[in-house]
Amino acid sequence: MTQRRIYLDQYPYFVTFRTRVDLKIFEDGEYAEMLSRIIFNAGRLKRFNILAYQIMPDHVHVLTCQQTPIIGAGDIHIPRARASASAIGKVYPIAPRDGCARGKNVSELIHGIKSYFATEIRQKFGINYSVLQPRFYSRTVNTDAYLYTVVEYIRFNPIKARLPKKYHHMPYQLMDTKLIKLLFY
């Protein structure tokens, strides 16, 4: 049985997904460049800001939030959550808060990234098997302290893992400090 997700769309998400059997496919810069481009395109299409990401040899971290609106993590209130699946009967979406349009959810964003990456490597390199695990891990970033922790974790992950300098720059690492600072105020 799989765990159902509850979406709190007004907060950022910290997402991690892995390669199958710890395949170190992203040591090759060509795969990392392809994934970097796909992350941004999927974010644009699904209406998500990509705040930060880190592509490691065998896994990827993404800090993302819906494009509009975002609230500072310090503006914490308990929103009404909506069900992530209609397995319990018909689910009625809640009305958008503060006049916000409902966009896609984080599951749709990650599915878009992973499926398009699989399509691209199949077409470009003839790899006919899935290199990414089908599941992903996500956490809602709902406090300033946790946001700071996530940003620092992404920033220093390649240092802690003793990876080469290439992992500290594009296409392996991105920090959109302008958007991240907006979340703190």
Percent helix, strand, coil in the chain, to 5, is 40, 20, 40
Q: In what order do the strands lie in the sheet with 173-175?
A: 137-140, 13-18, 59-66, 48-55, 173-175
pLDDT for the residue 178: 93
φ, ψ for residue 164, nearest 5 deg = -60, 165
pLDDT at 8: 72
| 3-class DSSP state of 127 | coil
- Tokens coding 165: 């300098």
CATH match for 13-76+101-183 among 3.30.420.40, 3.90.1150.10, 3.40.50.300, 3.30.70.1290: 3.30.70.1290
Given this model, what pLDDT does residue 5 score?
63
Domain-by-domain residue ranges, the chain? 13-76+101-183
pTM assigned to the model: 0.79
User: What is the residue type of 102?
Assistant: R
Percent share of the chain, pLDDT over 70: 76
Could you report the per-residue pLDDT of 89-141, keeping only the tens digit for each?
333 343 343 333 456 899 999 999 999 999 999 999 999 888 999 999 999 99
Of 16-20, 72-76, 146-150, 181-185, least confident by mean pLDDT is 72-76
- CB of 114 within 8 A of CB of 17? yes
Residue 27 has pLDDT above 90, yes or no: yes
Place of tokens 């509850």: 6
Phi/psi for 70 (5° steps) reads: -120, 145
> Which residues sit opposite 13 in a β-bridge?
64, 140
- Which pLDDT value is given to residue 185? 64
pLDDT in tens, 62-73: 999 998 654 554
The mean pLDDT of the chain is 83
Q: Does 79 score more than 50 pLDDT? A: no
